[in-house]
Amino acid sequence: MKMRYALRALAGIMRREILRFVGQRGRFAAAIVRPLVWLGIFAAGFRSVLGLSIIPPYQTYVLYEVYIVPGLAGMMLLFHGMQGSLSMVYDREMGSMRVLLTAPLPRWWLLGARLLANTITVLPIVYLFLLLARFWDVRPPAFGYVAALPALSVAGLMLAAFGLALSSMIRQLENFAGVMNFVIFPLFFASTALYPLWRVEEVSPMLAMVAWINPFSHAVELIRFALYLQFEPVAFAVCTVAFALFFGLAVWGYDPGRGFWARRAAE
Amino acid sequence: MNALVIKNLSHSFGARHALRDVNLSLDSGCFAVLLGPNGSGKTTLVSLVTGLYNAQHGDIHIFGHSIRSNPLPALARLGVVFQMPTLDLDMTVDQNMAYHGSLHGLPRKEARERAVEELERLGIDDRRGEKVRSLSGGLRRRVEIARALLHRPQLLIVDEATVGLDVAGRQLLLNHLRSLCRKGMSVLWTTHLLDEVEPSDQLIVLHQGSVRWEGEARGLAPDGKLAAAFLQLTGQPS
């Protein structure tokens, strides 16, 4: 594989993903409106019900809005990762995946490029949301926005890899609704995105354990700590290992000798 | 060197044998027609040759490179037009061409120049800025052919690409590809339509997953009655 050619392919895949994302105005709008609805309506209702103690990385009592903003940024990455998965399934159904998979480059590279493109397209929207959140008095330190970039990237890659791995298992576009119900919602609600772990523990230690092993919780915590200029090594390690695992699964799923294509052809 | 060599290729989907011990070879610069009725195994063969999935038995070499053990140089020499449309409908013709060029490592400027050239040859350069969704089925097919030629493949595989094309469009496409063969490119043209075969074409008749005939088309029907000869081989009209 010549690196020059591989980088051109990467650039081409990125351009295509950006064009598609920007072209889909509904998806673009939903990506920003969804977290704002949670922040503006859900958080406003919950702030009076849910008291928060001082937990790291916060050094004082914080408003509920402050607490859920990293979780909502994680939610944006999660939904975008799943949209990427949907887009892979759509491309497969519509045939354009064949163009990608018959390119003279290793499949892991092509899939990795798709993954990277998927993550990069969502980051500006997440930043737009973080800036709009300032209207709700969610104001992390200025340098926190910079420090959050690697955290958002790692979390985004991990969640996009999860979506990619899922797409290699979903056989038809119609099955995607099931993924929403059985994957996205449990991942989101059984996490630390909306409530801190100690709060969950009070209600159900079992659910707290599920939330603790949920990689999405670690993605959220990585973002939360980074926004307040702290590094959370456990969250980083979990996100990195989960990324490697999901990406490996996706590469296996799209391998010509195994996985999706061979299974699909056999149907 | 042979453009394509297929040795002892067999593939099954469950209990159904899609291909049984297929052997064939294509010379450089030849126009070969893979003729077979629907369900004869043509698309399975194309999927295996393009490396979408691996064959259970046998091997495929493209200009000496095995698609299983050394797929990258094999794919670099290969252009494909799949039976299923593969263009991105929400992108323009130009954007689809640029995307394909980038996947084959072409610099953007070169890809753009080649795209103009190929689209001009197929008479669709005036539609370059339009979204593929707005093009008719026939025009989309032409774009797919132009795209498959963008990286100047040495072997082009065209899987039933004339479906949806009018007579003039079919003729334009066939004439163009035959002219490229005269310049050294090899073409494997899969079809179920007998009138796309010319006497000088290399003909491979595939039926129920097996090769029933391989040789010059005029050899199968010296009297020119290809339909009758095909019927005799396969037991059904094409």
Asked whether residue A267 carries a pLDDT value surpassing 50, the answer given is no
Cβ contact A257–B88 (<8 Å): no
Is B105 within 8 Å of A2 when comparing Cβ atoms?
yes
Are A98 and B102 in contact (CB < 8 Å)?
no
Mean pLDDT check: name the lowest of A103-107, A111-115, A141-145, A171-175.
Answer: A171-175
Pair A121, A113: CB distance under 8 Å: no
Which residues of chain B make contact with A1, given a CB cutoff of 8 A? 72
Which chain B positions have a beta carbon within 8 Å of A4's beta carbon? 105
Contact call for B99 and A11, based on CB within 8 A: no
How many angstroms separate the CA of residue A170 from the nearest CA in chain B?
Answer: 17
Indicate the helix (H) or strand (E) that contains B157: strand B155-159
Predicted complex: ipTM over 0.90: no
What count of CB pairs under 8 Å joins A to B?
103
Pick the residue with more confidence: B127 or A86?
B127
3-state secondary structure of B130: coil
| Whether the Cβ atoms of residue B182 and residue B29 lie closer than 8 Å to each other | yes
Strands B57-62 and B65-66: antiparallel
What six digits make up the tokens of A217? 């919780």
Instruction: Say if the Cβ atoms of B86 and A96 lie within 8 Å.
Output: yes
Residue A23 to chain B, least CA–CA distance (Å): 8
pTM of the model: 0.86
Residues of chain A contacting B73 with CB distance shorter than 8 Å: 104
Cβ-Cβ contacts under 8 Å, A92 against chain B: none
Q: Which residues in chain A are closer than 8 Å to B76, comparing Cβ atoms?
A: 104
Interface test with A, best of B72, B102, B106, B157 (most A CBs within 10 A): B102
Residue A1 has pLDDT above 70, yes or no: no
Q: Using one digit for the tens of pLDDT, what is the confidence trace for A8-48?
A: 999 999 999 888 888 777 878 888 999 999 988 888 877 76
B70–chain A Cβ distance below 8 A for any pair: no
Residues in chain B predicted with pLDDT less than 50, given as ranges, are none
Rounded to 10 degrees, what is the CA torsion of B189, B190, B196, B202? 60
User: Of the candidates B91, B86, B81, B82, which has an alpha carbon nearest to the alpha carbon of residue B134?
Assistant: B91
Sign of the alpha-carbon torsion through B102, B106, B107, B108: negative
**pLDDT tens for residues A174-225?**
676 777 778 888 899 999 988 888 778 888 888 989 989 999 999 999 999 9
Closest approach of B92 to chain A, Cα-based (Å)? 10
